[in-house]
Amino acid sequence: MMKDTLTFWDYLKAAFHLKVPFKALGHLPLNKLVLAGFAILALGHPGFLFLGLAYESAYLLSLSGNGRFQSIVQGEKLADKRKSQAQKQQGVLQILSAEDRDRYINLECKCEKIHNKYGLPAPESGLKSLQSEALSQLSAIFLKLLHSRRTSRELLEELSEKNLREEIRQVEVKLAGEAEGSALARPLKGTLEIQKRRLDNLLRVKESLKVTDAELDRIEKQVTLISEESIISGDPQILTSRLDGVIRSLEDTQKWISDSSELFAAMESDSHAASPLPAPKKARLKE
């Protein structure tokens, strides 16, 4: 997968910036130092400039096209990606409740047992293993679902369906009392539209929370089943088949998670855009 995401330009850049280890000196950008040397020599004779260009062209083309070098670059990119994912996961775990963190750690422990049972390489090792990638993907989806559920619960705590419906009713009453095209009718219509959208989104969040709980339960049971089957049978082909089926069944879940993120962003935007209800005019007291 990483190989498909890298282009020849990526290998050229990696070759240009390559640092070579030297004892007592650490890692030095040897290619850049050689180019600097040619540049200095070119001050005395322009011919060294052409020699430098010829050297650099030959160096970049030969190294960037080398299969072993490409594998090293792929491994480094994969390691960077794993590190970034781990940092993001830690960030999400820190904001989850203790109960959700324990739930995620429990799933990770089951995946670790499966790794050990089949002798699979850990995903962070950079070694290729479709089973390891699938288990890692399962854990990542599970964590995203936990985060989505947390966001849903926070929104439901902040918003009340009853209050939103009452606000909509109040705006509709005020709008009914205004003449069509009046100065107040336009902002009232805008507020009414926003509040109705917020109510619609709130109902969608309530439904998505049910789906999230069901998906979390399904993933836990799937991993438990795979863990139990690993005890009965140590055949890696069975594991691959089970994981392929699970990942395919979760493709719609990943799309749904993405849609949920857009929904939460839309709700936050609507919340900021919602205008407060116009305050009723106070009657002037007669003296």
DSSP 134-154: HHHHHHHHHHHHHHHHHHHHH
In the three-class reduction of DSSP (H, G, I as helix; E, B as strand; rest coil), residue 251 is classed as: helix
CA 223/CA 110 separation, integer angstroms: 7
Does the CA dihedral 166-168-172-178 come out positive or negative?
positive
Reference 194, options 257, 251, 272; nearest CA is: 272
CA 244/CA 261 separation, integer angstroms: 26
The predicted pLDDT at position 95 comes to 85
Name the residue with higher pLDDT: 77 or 109: 109
CA 224/CA 203 separation, integer angstroms: 32
Reference 37, options 19, 17, 21, 51; nearest CA is: 51
Can you read off the two tokens belonging to residue 47?
Answer: 């011919």
CA 75/CA 71 separation, integer angstroms: 6
**228-275 pLDDT tens trace:** 876 676 666 666 667 777 777 677 776 767 766 666 666 556 555 554
CA 219/CA 141 separation, integer angstroms: 9
Reference 198, options 242, 158, 142; nearest CA is: 158
E strand segments, 14-138: 20-22, 26-28
What are residue 20's DSSP bridge partners? 28
Name every residue whose Cβ is closer than 8 Å to that of residue 76 and which is 6 or more positions away in sequence.
Answer: 14
pLDDT over threshold 90, residue 54: yes
Does the CA dihedral 134-136-142-144 come out positive or negative?
negative
pLDDT over threshold 70, residue 281: no
CA 69/CA 84 separation, integer angstroms: 23
Residue type, 241: S
- Asked if 115 and 132 count as a contact pair (C-beta separation under 8 A), the reply is yes
The predicted pLDDT at position 276 comes to 44
How many CB atoms are closer than 10 A to CB 280? 7
pLDDT band, residue 96 (cuts 50/70/90): confident
Name the residue with higher pLDDT: 118 or 44: 44
pLDDT band, residue 279 (cuts 50/70/90): very low
pLDDT over threshold 70, residue 124: no
Report the chain's C-alpha Rg in angstroms: 30
What is the value of pTM for the model shown?
0.57
Task: Read off the pLDDT of each residue in 96-107 and give the average, rounded to a whole number.
Answer: 90
